[in-house]
Chains A and B, each alone.
Chain A
Amino acid sequence: MPSFQRAAKEALANTQQRRNLAHATATIRAKRAAVVGEVDRWEELRVAGADAKDEALHHLPHYLEQLETNLTARGATVHWARDADEANRIVLDIVRAKEAQEVVKVKSMATQEIELNERLEEAGIHAWETDLAELIVQLGHDRPSHILVPAIHRNRAEIREIFRREMGSVGRPAPEDLTDEPARLAEAARLHLREKFLRARVAVSGANFAIADTGTLVVVESEGNGRMCLTLPETLISVVGIEKVLPSFEDLGTMLQLLPRSSTGERMNPYTSMWTGVHDGDGPQEVHVVLLDNGRSHVLADELGRQALRCIRCSACLNVCPVYERAGGHAYGSVYPGPIGAILNPQLRGTGSEVDKSLPYASSLCGACFEACPVRIDIPTLLVHLRTQVVDEASGRSPEATSMRAAAWMFGDHRRLEAAQRAATLGGRLLGGRTLRSVPGLGAWTQARDVPTPPRETFRQWWARRRQDDPGGAPGPVRQQDGTSTTTPEEET
């Protein structure tokens, strides 16, 4: 993957995508603001949400063991996966044992993270995404660009074309007279998917929450396709990140108030499915749960960074992020885009690659993400924390590090700063207030911005001159709180 900067540059040139994104995020932002505004004690809810996740994370081994015990007692089979390879192998082995040629999938970030679909396809097993937006991405041979709305970069006209072009090659074709009306598009998807729901014997899901004290898994969705997958097939395999665990069933109440409001701007999502093990004659008769680490223990080990694992994948931070809105989701080089992706990917994967090194810098640190986050992840502080790691790993060998050291030396003493300022004001006098449109070495600034012209006199030069001109205006003794007076040498020139 190229760095965020390079990928963003390309995305910015895609004006259709920029318009689609600006329109979609503005709509979700307004809806979210309205329903969050209805809750009197929203800040208290945020704290409660953060506390519940922190309780789970700070005692993770305990709650995971409790989850495993309760899941097993209810007839589920628990598997542990250290990384993507292990998780994919576990899923593949189960699908093969069932002699299934295809699986239906509930939208799941964890399975995208481990690229399960690709691994299944390599083994000759078709994995059908059944979430409408995921279906659009899959049929379009595209990549998701948003956590909640993976096809947010597409508009209705583009979706109609994808359906007409692609549906027929993998199942029931789109109707000949398909228009770009949302209801018609949804109908085409419904008919296309229905055959797959009724045919598939194995389903793969993730989980929004895994409740330790009951062994219950929870999936929250809008369309009901998830409910179909979770109830119709004989075998259900759920791939669940270990950070999804919640201590108790009561915590779910808090989360279900925070999640829909933050993500879709709804008071409650249309479908909430919960399943606890196996029930005779009702639902899947074989239930597997793959508990996935894949870098999460590494994130947990960082005292400051571990708060990123509170994330409930609501995507509120994406929808308020001005950088995401313009650069789009693909520039983040991962299934986790936006502000949360900018901190989560470098933590999960390390900062070795071009893209992961650049992600902590993919933010203006405006703080809108922290304000919107329902579980209070301090994303701006974590970005700065990760930037420090990137700099430390470069061990001071970059040209940037050299100039930063020089600047720090200059600011280390006011006399050095004053000497540097004399050079700047000399420049200002030479320029005589002319507007600068291009300065060698400042290309990144000057490509679309004028350069501020240095002044003829710095503030401190003005201050010193003013004191000489007007002794009455000069600073006198400093009044201390205890009433004594001292003159501080620093204020003298």
Chain B
Amino acid sequence: MTTPAPTVALFATCFNDTMWPEAPQATVMLLERLGCRVVFPREQTCCGQMFTNTGYADEATPLVRRFVDTFERYDHVVAPSGSCVGSVREQHGMLARRAGDAGLAEAAERTATKVRELSEFLVDVLGVTDVGAYFPHRTTYHPTCHSLRMLHVGDKPLQLLRAVRGIDLVELPAASECCGFGGTFAVKNADTSIAMGSDKARHVRETGAEVLVAGDNSCLAHIGGVLGRQRSGVRTLHLAQVLASTEEDPA
């Protein structure tokens, strides 16, 4: 590490906070292990993505205000979700401008520059790829669409995973293809979503992996939901959980 470890505000995201607390917990453990001071601003709720992407811009805009009020004072905001970070970066400014609030748009865009998805923060800010993790399992990685095409994280998650001790990392066929979750798409277009999810699950099973890893629990809930229904015996884990995993405290 080249610079002293910074203070990091954790944006847990509403979905992880409520349904998948293991991912933000692992993020805290990991960042603290790497010497960061982690704070959790309690006023945070939701980035508004579900509202924005379903067409409810008016409902999303107050959440942009809340996000800015909660996080604009921090130099570093980290979230264990490529999708929510994508929404903050790509949509918050646009929502504020749509509502005619140029001041908020400016503040939202300034705040967004400090918000990073976990793998971006580790590689780009902390400058680490070996985070000292231990995870001795056959694992495959699904790059979620928003990490890949909105945030352009590239192979940063894979750099981090390759450095994990004991891991048997296997390539996922058609990895960059969407799993079919897509927020409310999963229920509005359930049949198409399930067809996409089933193909993704088939590719996961083809790898023979015991564990499927991704940077978004929403996508994992969908793929894992299909894998679970198939009683496939494949476990899904958030990237943060694998990176936080150690011999003393395995995931």
Binding site for B on A (CB under 8 A): 4-5, 8-9, 12, 18, 322-323, 326-327, 360-368, 370-371, 381, 384, 387-392, 400-401, 404-405, 407-408, 411-414, 417, 420-421, 424, 435, 437, 444-445, 447-452, 454-455, 457-460, 462-463, 473, 475-476, 478-481, 488, 490-493
Contacts and interface: CB of A to CB of B under 8 A. Distances in A.
B55 A391 contact: yes
A421 B18 contact: yes
A388 B57 contact: yes
Given A364-B182, A414-B42, A491-B40, A370 B54 contact: no
B229 A437 contact: yes
Nearest to A454: B19
A475 B21 contact: no
Given A449-B225, A452-B20, A478-B73, A412 B66 contact: yes
29 contacts: A8-B192, A327-B192, A361-B184, A362-B189, A366-B145, A366-B178, A366-B182, A367-B148, A387-B54, A389-B55, A391-B54, A400-B54, A404-B56, A407-B51, A411-B66, A417-B14, A417-B46, A420-B18, A444-B187, A444-B188, A445-B190, A448-B226, A449-B194, A451-B225, A452-B20, A455-B20, A458-B21, A488-B39, A490-B43
B188 A361 contact: yes
A448 B198 contact: yes
A479 B232 CA distance: 48
Nearest to A467: B40
B42 A490 contact: yes
Contacts of B38: 475
B178 A481 contact: no
A117 B229 CA distance: 49
Contacts, number: 210
Contacts of B25: 459, 462
Interface in B37-67: 37-46, 48, 50-57, 59-60, 62-63, 66
Contacts of B53: 365, 384, 387
Given A5-B189, A388-B55, A452-B225, A367 B145 contact: yes
Given A4-B189, A384-B53, A412-B62, 10 more contacts: A323-B192, A392-B55, A408-B59, A408-B60, A417-B45, A451-B225, A452-B224, A478-B39, A479-B37, A490-B43
A85 B171 CA distance: 54
Contacts of B188: 5, 361, 444
Contacts of B45: 411-414, 417
Nearest to A493: B42
B157 interface: no
Given A391-B56, A449-B222, A450-B228, A488 B20 contact: no
A414 B43 contact: yes
A7 to B, nearest CB: 10
Classify the secondary structure of A's interface with B: helix
B106 interface: no
A424 B18 contact: yes
Contact of B54 (A381, A404, A490): A404
B16 interface: yes
Ranked 5 nearest A-B pairs via Cβ: A364-B182, A449-B225, A387-B55, A366-B178, A391-B55
Contacts of A365: 53, 145, 182-183, 185
B20 A9 contact: no
Contact of A322 (B17, B70, B178, B228): B178
B142 to A, nearest CB: 12
Contacts of B194: 447-449
Most buried by B among A18, A384, A479: A384
A401 B148 CA distance: 31
Interface in B74-101: 74-75, 90-91, 94, 98
A364 B180 contact: yes
Contacts of A414: 42-45
Nearest to A324: B192
A417 to B, nearest CB: 5
B147 to A, nearest CB: 11
B249 to A, nearest CB: 14
Given A387-B55, A390-B55, A363 B182 contact: yes
A450 B70 CA distance: 34
B146 interface: yes
B116 to A, nearest CB: 17
Most buried by B among A364, A370, A417, A444: A364
A450 B230 CA distance: 9
Most buried by B among A390, A404, A473: A404
B177 interface: yes
Contacts of A390: 55
Contacts of A492: 42
B17 A364 contact: no
Contact of A460 (B17, B98, B193): B17
B234 interface: no
B21 A491 contact: no
Given A384-B55, A421-B18, A364 B181 contact: yes
